[in-house]
Chains A and B, each alone.
Chain A
Amino acid sequence: MNEVTKIDGIGSSVRRTEDKKFLTGKGKYTDDINRPGQVQAYFLRSDVAHAKIKKIDIKNAQSAPGVIGVFTGDDIAADKVGGPICGWVVPCRDGSATKEPPHPLLAQGKVRFVGDAIAVVLAETAEQAKSGAELIDVDYEELSPVVDFENAGDGAQIHDEVPNNCYFDWELGDEKATADALSGAKKIVKLRVRNNRLVPNAMEPRSALAEFDNLDDSYTLHTTSQNPHLTRLVLAAFMFAIPESKLRVIAPDVGGGFGSKIYVYIEEAVCVWASKKVGRPVKWTADRTQAFLTDCHGRDHVNDVQLGLDENNKIVGLRVDTVCNLGAYLSAFSVVVPTYLHGTLLSGQYDIPAIYTNVKGMATNTVNVDAYRGAGRPEATYLLERTMEAAAREVGMDPAEFRRINFIPKDAFPYQTQVALQYDIGDYEPHLDKAMEMIDYSNFETRRAEAAKRGMYRGIGISSYIEACGLAPSAVVGALGGRVGQWESASVRVNPTGTISVFTGSHSHGQGHATTFAQIVADKLGIPMENVEVVHGDTDKTPFGMGSYGSRSLASGGSAISKAVDKIINKSKKIAAHLLEASEDDIDFKDGKFVVGGTDKEKAFGEIALAAYVPHNYPLETLEPGLEENAFYDPTNFVYPSGTHIAEVEVDPATGVVQVVDWAACDDFGNLVNPMIVEGQVHGGIAQGIGQALLEDAHYDENGQLLTASYMDYCMPRADDLPSFKVGYTTTPSTVNDLGVKGCGEAGAIASPPALINAVIDALSPLGVTDMSMPATPQKVWKAIQDSQSVAAE
């Protein structure tokens, strides 16, 4: 390898090339883009959770200063524009299908959550639009709100199409085999855990700018999307019934998504519709309150777990009954998240001979719930790793050893779980061992005793997680109810001087693709990384692709790029063979040079590129000029990152404050392209997991009002809530893709909550505390300590 390749290639912690603009405030986000003559949209939203709309009077709003137009659901219906669709459905236990109620762009006859859009006001300025909306008079007939999702079946029916407010009642696994296993178990560990509801809180609120060109009847939409091609497909094919060619969707710089920007929301669709209606560009940007009220939330599960053990403390069976809250309407991936992205992960890293799970997805008068960093997998990991810890405690084993004896052994791969997945490769003991070493597990009791002298309770908690990501084999997705393919695309264009333009179907909204993808190309072609540009986020520029979510961009998108580069190399060899007057079979490609084997005859990559575009000496009779290749990569399996995180905490009994004092994360992400970016993803994921475990909680009151609708009440993790993380890796390269990579974007958020809660419970275990729900707020922890002391006193 030459020096340049060493610096830029796969495995180097190259600084992120995209950061200069972001760190200097020069990023160009949707709201930064303005068009001459644009109008501003403001959505009038329901302030009640559940009501019939008896009348909407827009008269006063229409004549308000600056107002261009006021529209309601009737106007949308008159133009026959459809609502957002559900991208993945599942069959129910009774053989029926998922109930899919319509989701009108603007309310028609009924509002179903606080924030449900009733009307849109377009005005010259955003303030005028808002003032206009204040003049709209809505006459409601209030209905009983359904907020408690566990008992939603007994509540008022929210949709005519959804009896008992149950969207689906789904199962996976062998119920009878699991029942038999549990009845034969020596011990059954039972646990009920709750996965708290989270607000995604991307730094950039959602925004849309829609333009209509009446010369060719086409639209352009700038929007905050993680997958502009899917947005275009849904808007064009399902909502507006126009050819895709008449809609260009651009997702420019996007400031974080965490899942919340996967879906097509009603606001961007209304902007598209209104841009034609009023003949002017229409802009909308959410303020933070709207983001809290209307971005899809995450998690919100209750899980009842039964884990059976034999006389050797080996797991014999697992049953999980889950009820989850999906909110007022089905969002794009809301059905798959708690089912196939959750139930299939219940085997974790363990050899479990019988598993059964049932999931009921409930409708409530709260905003939609959908994917949020990890999407189903954190919920599965949380319930499993909490149960593993509880089981170890009940049988009196060290939790690490209890996990170890139940791990899938290294020689058992590929391993077929009882919940549909086949893990291609993994080796779990090394990351457990390494994490234990990183945190000095063996000397923990000394630290606990030292903390006790200071009046603090110290605890340690383990989480050994697995994740299925890199979505995904399309045939599997299709068989399981997915309505889209899950391949990824890449187009690699070699420019005449040998520089490269990569067009990817993936989308970067913080992940650093411009750097990571360029490293792959640079490494494979042996050229400097700065010769590679990465283009994403514009349906007019990039090939159709599925976008970024589910830790899929490198495993799927990166693999597509790799395959396209392979095609470039193959074609280049043909060109080189011609130029060097050699047989193609004799051409070797190494370090950016095409060499005739055993000779000193060679051509640099740049010379090949030039020959392809200036084909004066070129095999035109057998080869097309130019050097540009596409690849569509459909993986044969998910990739399966795994790892062990260990948290160490101290609890102050006087205040209940939990301080995270140490953290060891040892992950197996397969091969790393840019270890610095990977480490950043791990840090961010853990921070979000600590947020979930200690701080964050979306709370609706009994009337369906979101009480935590601002940062005054919704607590985000801050730097001083976090320790310095110890990050390490083990490596079993994925066998699924040529790069041997897995996903790393969600792992931290998946692994961390149970590690932290297990540590809190461990800290309080001397007091007899055996349970703690998320978030473990100071008040809750203090109360648990008080209650344990009053129990002790009795």
Chain B
Amino acid sequence: MYSTKYVKPNSTTEALEAIKSLSEGKFLAGGMTLIPTLKQRLASPDGLVDISGCKLDSIADEGETLKIGAMARHISVAESAVVKMAIPALAKLADGIGDRQVRNRGTLGGSVANNDPSACYPSAVLALKATVHTSNRSLAADDFFTGMFETALEEDEIIESISFLKPTKANYVKFPNPASRYAMVGVFVAQFGDEVRVAVTGAGEGGVFRHQEMESALSSNFSADSLSSVNIVSDGLISDLHASAEYRANLIKEMTKRAVA
């Protein structure tokens, strides 16, 4: 990697000041994407602002919602009794990200801010009607993800926490890419009374997305059978070495079936 400055502030206020002092600074959360990118010299920020000292890692049940700090590590979410009680599907998702090393370092906020089209967390944020609390506003999940690796976040804006709406029922099932074990298709299904939300990650050319047809099918009948007649179009789905758009379309339906089974 190229040499760069490193600072570790103690609050988001200090972090925001630090980033302003840099011309092309980067916030460093868990670094599971950023550090390899730097090592390969694919990025050359003039400074890294490590926000792991900003006390953003709390996990709290707030009644209707479950609030998780942006710096909560995947392992903390996976092992949290609070999360397991409130939204077990979210704990399961976190437990399936990467490997032990990644789970010990990677964070919720880092994953959501990066919005990798194959990351697991964005599907949970979208399906669980989450609210993303940043250093200066709160954004609804439906407004947050704007495209592959794109979000509504401004340059100098930090995710502080995310509030997930507790569902009646939820599940996450992913089909991992055999090599990277990122989601080749990951489906998060959440039921809120009569409403069902289905968020798909790993498959969309525009990143994570909701699947309206499956949502309405499941809203009227929450069962795998109700999905049989749904046609998953492959337009707009990623096609790569590992999976064609058609194969991904098949996996979307299959993983959704497994999620509701």
A782: interface (CB < 8 Å):
yes
Q: Is the CB of B241 within 8 A of A699?
A: yes
Closest Cβ–Cβ distance, residue B133 to chain A (whole Å): 32
Residues of B within 8 A of A695 (CB): 178-179
Q: Which residues of A contact B1 (CB under 8 A)?
A: 127
Contact residues of B between 1 and 28, Cβ < 8 Å to A = 1-3
**Can you name the residue of chain B whose Cβ is closest to the Cβ of A715?**
B179
CA distance A672 to B201 in the complex (A): 51
Q: Which of B142-150, B186-194, B242-250 contacts A (4 or more CB under 8 A)?
A: B242-250
Is A713 an interface residue, CB under 8 A from the partner? yes
Q: Which of A511-519, A630-638, A704-712 lies at the interface?
A: A704-712
B254 within 8 A of A: yes
CA of A777 to CA of B243, assembled, Å:
9
Contact bitstring A676-709, B, C-beta under 8 A = 1, else 0: 0000000000000000000100010000000110
Contact A777/B251 with A127-B1, A708-B241 known, Cβ cut-off 8 Å: no
A224 to B40, CA, bound (A): 24
When distances are taken between beta carbons in the complex, the residues of chain A under 8 Å from B241 are 699, 707-708, 713
**CB-CB < 8 A to A656: which residues of B?**
247
A714 to B1, CA, bound (A): 23
How many Å lie between the Cα of A271 and that of B244 in the bound state? 44
Interface pair A713/B179, CB less than 8 Å apart: yes
Q: How many residues on chain A are close to B (CB under 8 Å)?
A: 23
- A707 neighbours in B (Cβ, 8 Å): 241
CB-CB contacts below 8 Å: A374-388 with B: none
Residue from A699, A708, A715, A783 within 8 A of B247 (CB atoms): A783
Query: In the complex, which residue of chain A has the Cβ closest to the Cβ of B179?
Result: A715
Please give me the residue from chain A that is nearest to B244 by CB atom: A779
Chain B min CB distance to A196 (Å): 13
Among candidates B2, B182, B254, residue contacting A654 with C-beta atoms closer than 8 Å: B254
Interface flag for B101 (CB, 8 Å): no
Query: Which residues in B have their C-beta under 8 angstroms from that of A711?
Result: 179-180
Interface residues on B, range: 10 to 19
- A712 lies within 8 A of B180 (CB): yes
Contacts of B40 in A (CB 8 A): 289
Pairwise interchain contact B2-A779, C-beta atoms closer than 8 A: no
Highest count of chain A CB atoms <10 Å: which of B41, B182, B247, B254? B247
* A27 interfacial by beta-carbon distance below 8 Å: no
**Contacts A131-B2, A707-B241; A782 near B179 (Cβ below 8 A):** no
Asked whether A778 is an interface residue with its Cβ less than 8 Å from the other chain, the reply is yes
Residues in A with CB closer than 8 Å to B251 are 655
Cβ of A778 and Cβ of B180 under 8 Å apart? no
Q: How far apart sit A715 and B244, CA to CA, in the bound complex (Å)?
A: 17
| A654 / chain B contacts, CB cutoff of 8 Å | 250, 254
Give the chain B neighbours of A782 by CB distance below 8 A.
247, 250
Interface membership of A130, Cβ < 8 A? yes
| Chain A residues in 8 Å Cβ range of B178 | 695, 715, 777-778
In the assembled complex, the Cα of A779 lies from the Cα of B243 at a distance in Å of 6
**A134 contacts across to B, CB distance below 8 A:** 41
Of A127, A289, A655, A714, most buried by chain B (CB within 10 Å of CB) is A655
* Cβ proximity bits B166-179 to A, threshold 8 Å, 1 near / 0 not: 00000000010011
Q: Is the CB of B179 within 8 A of A714?
A: yes
Chain B min CB distance to A305 (Å) = 28
Rounded to whole angstroms, the CA-CA distance of A130 and B244 in the bound complex is: 37
Chain A residue contacts of B180, Cβ below 8 A = 711-713
- Rounded to whole Å, the gap between the CB of B179 and the closest CB of chain A is 4
In the complex, chain A residues whose CB is within 8 Å of the CB of B41 = 130, 134
A751-794 Cβ-contact flags toward B at 8 Å (1 or 0)? 00000000000000000000000000111001100000000000
| CB proximity to B under 8 Å, residues A327-362 | none
Within the complex, the shortest CB–CB distance from A42 to chain B, in Å, comes to 12
What would be 6 A-B contacts, judged by CB atoms less than 8 Å apart? A130-B41, A699-B241, A712-B179, A779-B243, A782-B250, A783-B244
